[in-house]
Amino acid sequence: MNTPTPTPGRPRAFDEQTVLDRATEVFWRHGYEGASLSTLTSAMGINRPSLYATFGSKEQLFQRVFERYRETQAAAARTALDQPTAYAAVEAFLRASADGLTADDHPAGCLSIQAGLACSPENARITEALAAGRAATEAALEERLTRAAREGDLPDGVDPRALARFVMALSEGHAVHAAAGATREQLHASVDVALRAVALRESTNIS
Amino acid sequence: MNTPTPTPGRPRAFDEQTVLDRATEVFWRHGYEGASLSTLTSAMGINRPSLYATFGSKEQLFQRVFERYRETQAAAARTALDQPTAYAAVEAFLRASADGLTADDHPAGCLSIQAGLACSPENARITEALAAGRAATEAALEERLTRAAREGDLPDGVDPRALARFVMALSEGHAVHAAAGATREQLHASVDVALRAVALRESTNIS
DNA sequence: CAGCTTTTGTACCGAACGGTAGGATGGAGA
DNA sequence: TCTCCATCCTACCGTTCGGTACAAAAGCTG
């Protein structure tokens, strides 16, 4: 479990995962640019040189934070997409998303959205990394739905890529809403509406 | 048209609306905190004291920018919601949104989303103002759909508030996608999927 | 032209930013 | 107990941040 090899020199006074958790919360709440080193070190309970010795820079710290975040997100997405039907997979994805966006063990919303949709030019890489993370989730969704299309498991006339984009966009919109204070019930009610679009039978347009 | 009253003193060398347009683009592209005064004044073609004499502060400048932005957004929403049926209103809203998010006379996406979903605590008012603007749009949508529900113009079992939230969330998600490079066609394909949820007949769930 | 008023440009303010130097500190091995 | 070495902590670096003082410039009015 823990490292049995006794490294020479003074041992660290903090646990890396713990301080990463604290940093995650700060970035989540204030965004990348809004999270100052003073706020970060204060929340992490370490001082600047420890942060730089351990993580390299503010940007590298954030990349570590986001990497960890992505892993848990990806695991949750994988679980949802393992459902046997497209409808069940989409519902599980959106339900898990709504729950995650309003969980009380972390700030409301989604780190990918909160941390930096727009940044100053020198931090453009942050924006790109976040977008890449979201794109990866959408790709997993698309892959699952493409398989569903092959299996005849999608409503007629529904393009799996469009459906993946729709589901992902809705989830991101819910993230925006959650960050602004929407409740879990409100998000699930929106999911109820969305699922009508994934139901099997072709429904009739208004005249 | 123009001011016929000759104000005393040296006349301004810039047009207020023009420099507001430039400021809008900078905030849109870099976010509130990512938009430095140097970048702003440089893009606006004026120097700092002129900015402060005219607008008061960076925050007040942004409020002016956002106010103008809201007016055009609200006008577009009003046009869409004036459609005779709920379905047509929702479609017009989402189509106009998709077009606006990918128009080439301004940065991709939506100022409300780009400017500052998360900020440092001292700029929390910016985040709140943006959320309030989006909430106002959602309220207009909800009002229209509540009327539709009264008129029997909504599918069975659809709560107008939930539908309004769904439409708004999707639009915000599309804003996130547009900022990350999604094309207009991709957004409209997602709208195609979404509209299935608003279609009149109750559709059958998967078994 | 003189006098008044407002804007313009330069040059600056204190504070906060991300990042770092270097001595004090504490645990393992000899 | 002494040595070694990575970590800890104070205090600082140069730069940029949002915001401003002040004097030169540019219009009107007389």
User: Is A125 contained in some domain?
Assistant: yes
Q: Which amino acid is at A115?
A: A
Distance, in Å, from the CA atom of B140 to the CA atom of B128, rounded to the nearest integer, reads: 18
**CA–C1' span, A13 to C15, in Å?**
31
User: The whole model's pTM is what?
Assistant: 0.94
User: Is B31 contained in some domain?
Assistant: yes
**CA–C1' span, B48 to D20, in Å?**
9
- Give the pLDDT of residue A2: 40
User: What residue is closest to D21 (Cα–C1')?
Assistant: B49
Q: What is the 3-state secondary structure (H, E, C) of chain B?
A: CCCCCCCCCCCCCCCHHHHHHHHHHHHHHHCCCCCCHHHHHHHHCCCHHHHHHHHCCHHHHHHHHHHHHHHHHHHHHHHHHCCCCHHHHHHHHHHHHHHHHCCCCCCCCCHHHHCCCCCCHHHHHHHHHHHHHHHHHHHHHHHHHHHHHHCCCCCCCCCHHHHHHHHHHHHHHHHHHHHCCCCHHHHHHHHHHHHCCCCCCCCCCCC
Cite residues whose beta carbon is less than 7 Å from strand C: A 6, 8-11, 33, 35-39, 48-49, 52, 57-59; B 7-14, 46-50, 53-54, 120
- Give mean pLDDT, residues A27-48: 98
A144 has pLDDT over 90: yes
The answer to whether the C-beta of B42 is closer than 7 A to strand D is no
Distance, in Å, from the CA atom of B162 to the CA atom of A190, rounded to the nearest integer, reads: 5
Residues of chain B predicted below pLDDT 70: 1-5, 200-207
A80 has pLDDT over 50: yes
CATH code, domain carrying B57: 1.10.357.10
User: Is A144 contained in some domain?
Assistant: yes
User: Is B9 contained in some domain?
Assistant: no
- Give the pLDDT of residue B203: 42
- Give mean pLDDT, residues A138-161: 96
User: Is A65 contained in some domain?
Assistant: yes
- Who has greater pLDDT, B116 or A203? B116
- For A93-141, how does the pLDDT look when each residue is reduced to its tens digit (9 = 90+)? 999 999 999 999 999 999 999 999 999 999 999 999 999 999 999 999 9
Q: Are A168 and A175 in contact (CB under 8 A)?
A: no
Distance, in Å, from the CA atom of A180 to the CA atom of A187, rounded to the nearest integer, reads: 12
Q: Are A58 and A31 in contact (CB under 8 A)?
A: no
- Give the pLDDT of residue B88: 98
Quote the number of domains for chain A.
Answer: 1
User: Is A111 contained in some domain?
Assistant: yes
Mean pLDDT of chain A: 94
Q: Measuring CA to CA, which residue among B115, B118, B113 is closest to residue B97? A: B113
From A5-9, A36-40, A55-59, A188-192, the region with the lowest mean pLDDT = A5-9
Q: Are B202 and B156 in contact (CB under 8 A)?
A: yes
Q: Are B143 and B187 in contact (CB under 8 A)?
A: no
Distance, in Å, from the CA atom of B134 to the CA atom of B73, rounded to the nearest integer, reads: 10
In degrees, rounded to 5, the angle at the alpha carbon of residue A137 between the alpha carbons of residues B161 and A72 is 95
In Å, how far from its chain's centre is CA B81?
Answer: 15
User: Is B45 contained in some domain?
Assistant: yes
Range of the domain at A189: 16-206
Chain B residues in contact with A87 by the CB 8 A cut-off are: 205-206
- For A154-196, how does the pLDDT look when each residue is reduced to its tens digit (9 = 90+)? 998 999 999 999 999 999 999 999 999 999 999 999 999 999 9
* Chain A contact for B177 (CB, 8 A cutoff): yes
**CA–C1' span, A49 to C23, in Å?**
14
DSSP letters for A101-129: HT-TTS-SS-HHHHTTSS--GGGHHHHHH
A200 has pLDDT over 60: yes
A-proximal residues of B, 87-126, CB under 8 Å? 87-88, 109, 113-121, 123
Q: Give residues with Cβ within 8 angstroms of B68, minimum separation 6.
A: B20, B24
